[in-house]
Amino acid sequence: MTELLAPAGDLEKLKIALMYGADAVFIGGTDFSLRARASNFTLDDIAEATRFAHERGKKVYVTTNIIPHNEDLPGLIEYLKALEERHVDAIISASPYMVDMAHQHTQLEVHLSTQQSASNTETVNFWYQRGVKRVVLARELSKHVIAEMVKKTEADLEVFIHGGMCMSFSGRCSLSNNMTDRDANRGGCAHSCRWNYTMYRANEKVSEEMFSMSSKDLEALEQIPFLMDAGVKSLKIEGRMKSLHYIATVVSTYRKLMDDHLKYGQIHDFMPYLIELEKAENRLTSHGFLEGLPGPEQQLFSMRSEQPSQLFVGLIQSYDPITQIAIIEQRNHFEINSNLEVLLTDGSVKTFYLDEMHDLEDTPTPVARHPKQILKIKIPFQVEPYAMIRKAS
């Protein structure tokens, strides 16, 4: 079976990812992890995360994937032992030293980070011989190369299928470090490639139009059946800093696609899955390197990439099946006399018409305009906590 692996920036997002269909999540601790600005997990959080996941037969992987300098290393062995004590299922590392320390001082399973740029069979087998059970492949590989590597390697292979793509090889970029003194390889990326630039030659402007150096985000819906059939062990979604709604929508969509492929075989129409994905906040997307060397159409250059969405309007907190009243937490502006839909944790979507709304004091509230306001609405079908309410398109 192919695993669906999702990101989680905090405990709430971890629970959402697992409830909406992820088989495993990857999280960052407060030390030794990239994405320094994400809501990283304390050791107590990690203990709660593994408990929640293991009760549901699911897994938690912790990233220890910085490229460390000398000053980053104190406390590493103690931290690895603490992760083992909290029963994490694996760590994801890029440093050979961190890999060796995990093997020498713990029984932790080790996965090799994409930061190591594993892009050929011999490299994967080298790391497997050093005790690495899984290798997260470089993102610069086609699906056909990946399929051949599955046949010729002993380690489990993990492939990115959705989320941000780096303009530098496997994320090993120095732009941010040089331009802002924030080291991308130690968790401080400022996304300098996404800024707008103007080109000059000898102080003379060459280009009238501003440009960026960023690629489109990855979206591999149509490649999923091929990768599953090829024997890829894990399909990975990127985005530990993304919202609850993004995680729920993306995870549930890929979960449904993977389940449909297992149940029905060949999938001929990917449009329903694409329509659902587009409801999440996202940038422009492409298939990256999975179909071969990307062309200009896979890049952003001077195109605007932001696609802000305010479809997500509320998070279910509780539901009374007798009165059909749901207690919700408001997330974006919405009004009564509108069509809404609910994304359930099984990935299904149901619609209803909202004709009245009240606050907790039962005061009629025709407009929800206050962030995180707690409201009462009537929903004519069963919903569960953490279901997402959205504006119906």
Q: What is the DSSP string of 181-225?
A: S--GGGT----GGGS-B--EETTEE--SS-B--PBPEEE-GGGHH
Tokens of 137: 């492949």
Average pLDDT of adjacent 10-residue blocks, the chain of 393 residues? 96 97 95 66 96 98 90 93 98 96 98 94 98 96 98 98 78 71 64 78 81 82 98 94 92 98 94 92 83 78 58 95 97 95 95 96 95 96 96 85
- Residue 297, helix vs strand vs coil: helix
Domains in the chain and their CATH numbers?
Answer: 3-298 (3.20.20.70), 312-391 (2.40.30.10)
Cα 376 to its chain centre, rounded Å, is 31
Global pTM value: 0.90
The pLDDT, as a whole number, for residue 205 is 85
The pLDDT, as a whole number, for residue 297 is 73
356 Cβ contact partners less than 8 Å away, ≥ 6 residues apart: 336, 364, 377, 378
Cα 60 to its chain centre, rounded Å, is 14
CA dihedral 302, 305, 308, 312 (to 10 degrees): 170
Distance, in Å, from the CA atom of 288 to the CA atom of 301, rounded to the nearest integer, reads 15
- Cα Rg of the chain (Å, integer): 22
The pLDDT, as a whole number, for residue 39 is 57
The pLDDT, as a whole number, for residue 280 is 87
The pLDDT, as a whole number, for residue 37 is 55
The pLDDT, as a whole number, for residue 38 is 57
Max Cα distance, the chain (Å)? 74
The pLDDT, as a whole number, for residue 183 is 62
**Helices and strands of the chain, counted as H and E runs:** 10, 21
